[in-house]
A and B are shown apart, each in its own frame.
Chain A
Amino acid sequence: MSDNILEMRGITKQFPATRALDNVNFVVRRGSIHALVGENGAGKSTLMKILSGLWPYGTYEGDVVYEGEVCRFNKIKDSENKGIVIIHQELALVPYMSIGENMFLGNEKGRKFAIDWEKTHAEATKYLKMVGLSESSKTLIKDIGVGKQQLVEIAKALAKNARLMILDEPTSSLNEEDSRALLDMLLEFKKQGMTSIIISHKINEISYVADDITILRDGKTIETLTKGVDDISEDRIIRGMVGREIEDRFPKRHGVKIGDVSLEVEHWNVYHPIYTERKVIDDVSFHVRQGEVVGFSGLMGAGRTELAMSIFGRSYGTEISGTVKIHGREVKLHSPRQAIDAGLAYVTEDRKVNGLILSNPISVNTTLANLKGVTSHGVIDRDKELKVADDYKNKLRTKTPSVTLNVSSLSGGNMQKVLLSKWMYSDPDILILDEPTRGIDVGAKYEIYCIINDLVAEGKSVIMISSELPEVLGMSDRIYVLNEGRIVGEFSQEEASQEKIMARILSADPSVKEKKQS
């Protein structure tokens, strides 16, 4: 038997607009804990989706070799039958079912037409003991905390006879204590011969448990570091994650005057709309000036979108407190309408889900946030609307034969331009752009950057939320770093670097604790 339980060779995965994985090689030693690290969008999740069969055989190039044989998984069940079990970042448990029911969901104990509940709960209890949970298997999932839910997920994986466990950000929603317990458990399983792949952004945790570390960047394998052989210090890992040159991918801004403060947010606090005891935004204060592009950097789930939406007419969250000042005057924004009227625009992330009405034409989408502009006495002037849409089409060079076509017919970059048109037509002073270039190609990105430059040249303020560090660095005059709902750093363009920002994000927790103690 070979020493390697898994070898992924020359994996390439092409999406319509981007190449998510480019000739990736990934080798996991039997009985090791292997960490997979990289920035957002580096391709970690895609690689694991291929391994688990979520992207079936044939949709990618390259070979997945598991236990010495080439695997052709068509669905998740196929990989699970071989003992490869993935535990997703978002827990996949049904809240109103018991722990036992959840553990054997889709894999029920008993005969085909009769579930054997006694066996179900007996088995469940056995696996719960293995992960150190003393809860009854009849307890409902909703009644136990997130930390314990994560353990149930692991117990569920064990119940599937997992021999290779993949954990995607297993500790992202856990506190320090629970995280440590979970990592120790992984070490315990390792002793019993289990192999694990762990995806994490928390470098300290990785150095604690991992035997090998593979770094992905832009869909390519950069290197694999081995404990005891290579240097696996935090700095070393960060350098591997971000270490690319910023090419000339960003248009220069010339002579844009940065003026007075246009938006000022102070002591902003927001709680989760459903889990109302969870604080999503914690005492955030920031400001933006006229003619300035301010970047918001942070990992997914850091609270950037939540921050933007809560400011934009309280579209997110409950028990919001804090003040918002626009051009020095305090404003109360209780609905998106009020926010728009006050001069704000929020260009949503995920244009297909939150931004555009796909079943409607480009023209309709363009005027949606400012229907007043083409309406008199409640009646829409269709001709005027088409004219407006056409003007924006020409201004932003949207590629489409006609603005009467549905937006769903456009490519991602052109959809983004329509989304920008919509908000530009609402004539805002301050634009919040949430992931404005996600999933679009390099050429379209450049055009979006040019539009941003034109906006600030007109004296508008732009807040850019982005997960791509090079983009934030290349476009922003100033950068805020957000982590777990708190601002953990602020850099000017001159002092900012990828390493500094990454280091701030990764070492955020201790510094905040120090602050709290003082």
Chain B
Amino acid sequence: MTKTKILRFVQKYTMMIALILVTAFFAWQTKGKILLPQNITNIISQNAYVFVLATGMLCCILTGGNIDLSVGSVVCFVGTIGAVLMHNKLNMWLAVLVMLAVGLLIGAWQAFWIAYVKVPPFITTLAGMLIFRGLSNVVLQGKTMAVTNEKFVRIFGGGANCYVPDIFHGEGMNILCIVVGVLACLAFLFLTFRANISRRKAGLEAESLKVVAVKALVIVAVGIFFTVRLAQYKGLPMALIWVVTVIAIYSYITSKTTIGRHLYAVGGNETATRLSGINTKRVYFFAYSNMGLLAGLAGILTIARLTSAQPTYGQSYEMDAIGSCFIGGASAYGGVGTVPGVIIGALLMGVINIGMSIMGVDANYQKVVKGLVLLAAVIFDVVSKKKNN
């Protein structure tokens, strides 16, 4: 009995456990360096684009294991447009709007072919990958264009001064960061318990309060730890704000709205979904247009962090995003996967990246390790599902 319980627990929280183990491993190997405030900040700022793209990629993968190969090129193209516009002294907010619009348009263009003409997504987005990489090169004429708009860099970037200013002016400790962290934890506790209680009131089955309390406490403890770590450095990175916003919105969309439900339904059984009166074409159209929009946002974050646009930016970003999704438990056949899962997948990749960098592992070996992790995660998924059946 207890053995099966443990087994079920491990199966449910595999990636979470893997993340903790991997972090512990690197903490040991790097003598705790990976948990230094600066490195924790780095994991977030360096991987901001992965979090954003992986969230969008999840929506595509949910529809049936379909991927979007063009996101790296779209990131680059959108960044290029932005850099050019700001170089010509366009107002930065206008430039941001244009970049998001361009991303959305590209997404809609590809989504149209995929949803309404039934061109396979793999091919449509492979074409997009070539088209927008090429166009970026054409616009930049193969050169680098600097992004000199300081305000833009500060708001979207991941560099030295891209932090939310501490309005409380704490000494050695960013008080705003602590305040926000604590407030977030309280909000989390409130929402968790309210949902549980309302479920009880409605006479539905609900987890016992003890289990909920333990789970919530663990999450709050981790949250507080990171808050303190961030506060000890320079406070809240701006990139974190954007990432959290995206995660919050898309967690909500995928788990609570009809749009999200339709994504899962189409991936789970397209015929059944269509015969249930759901417009499946529109679902595909949403997934791929939305991917374009988020690629646009990732493009903004990328040029702000690197303070320039280059024709090579965004290369293999699509692979980071796809990898995070599958490591995070999305099914290669569609219909299964969650935003929090994907974020854990992206974090796992980020920790492995930075951990190996600190250890001084050769970049080529890093790729080998990441590849093996991806394969192992999917093998585990497939095998454990087979056993359950």
Contacts and interface: CB of A to CB of B under 8 A. Distances in A.
Given A357-B268, A359-B335, A383-B198, A368 B276 contact: yes
Interface stretch (B27-35, B259-267, B311-319, B361-369): B259-267
A41 interface: no
B25 to A, nearest CB: 33
A369 B336 contact: no
B204 A390 contact: yes
Interface string B303-342: 0000000000000000000000000000100011000000
Interface residues of B, number: 28
A380 B256 contact: yes
Interface string A352-369: 011111111000100011
Contacts of B331: 359
A354 B274 CA distance: 9
Interface string A300-315: 0000000001001101
B271 A353 contact: yes
Contact of B265 (A312, A313, A368, A380): A368
What's the interface size class on A, roughly?
35 or more
Contacts of B160: none
B272 A340 contact: no
Interface string A30-61: 00000000000000000000000000000000
A115 B258 CA distance: 55
B269 interface: yes
Contacts of B279: 335, 337
Interface in B260-293: 261, 264-265, 267-269, 271-279
A387 B202 contact: yes
A18 to B, nearest CB: 20
Given A360-B264, A364-B261, A387-B202, A354 B271 contact: yes
B171 interface: no
A380 B261 contact: yes
B189 to A, nearest CB: 19
Given A383-B204, A387-B202, A360 B268 contact: yes
Nearest to A363: B204
Contacts of B265: 357, 360, 364, 368
Contacts of B336: 359
A233 interface: no
B275 A346 contact: yes
Interface stretch (A81-89, A219-227, A371-379): A371-379
B257 interface: yes
Contacts of B267: 359
A358 B258 CA distance: 18
Given A337-B279, A380-B258, A380-B261, A356 B272 contact: yes
Given A357-B268, A359-B268, A336 B276 contact: yes
B206 to A, nearest CB: 10
Contact of A357 (B202, B203, B204, B273): B273
Nearest to A422: B276
Contact of A339 (B202, B256, B268, B277): B277
A348 interface: yes
B277 A340 contact: yes
Nearest to A371: B258
Contacts of A379: 256-258
Nearest to B202: A383
A348 B259 contact: no
A61 to B, nearest CB: 25
B87 interface: no
A357 B272 contact: yes
Contacts of B259: 378
Contact of A369 (B203, B268, B269, B276): B276
B272 A378 contact: no
A335 B278 CA distance: 9
Contact of B258 (A340, A348, A357, A378): A378
B275 A348 contact: yes
B199 interface: yes
A139 interface: no
A419 to B, nearest CB: 9
Nearest to B267: A359
Task: With a 10 A CB-CB cut-off, give which of A337, A357, A364, A383 has the most chain B CB atoms.
Answer: A357
A359 B331 CA distance: 10
A354 B272 contact: yes
A371 B257 CA distance: 10
Given A353-B271, A364-B261, A368-B265, A382 B276 contact: no
Of all A-B residue pairs in the complex, the 8 with the closest CB atoms, nearest first, are: A357-B268, A337-B277, A369-B276, A340-B277, A336-B277, A357-B269, A368-B276, A359-B335
Interface of B: 198-199, 202-205, 256-259, 261, 264-265, 267-269, 271-279, 331, 335-336
9 contacts: A337-B277, A337-B278, A346-B275, A354-B272, A356-B269, A357-B273, A360-B265, A386-B204, A390-B204
Given A335-B279, A360-B335, 4 more contacts: A354-B275, A355-B272, A386-B199, A426-B277
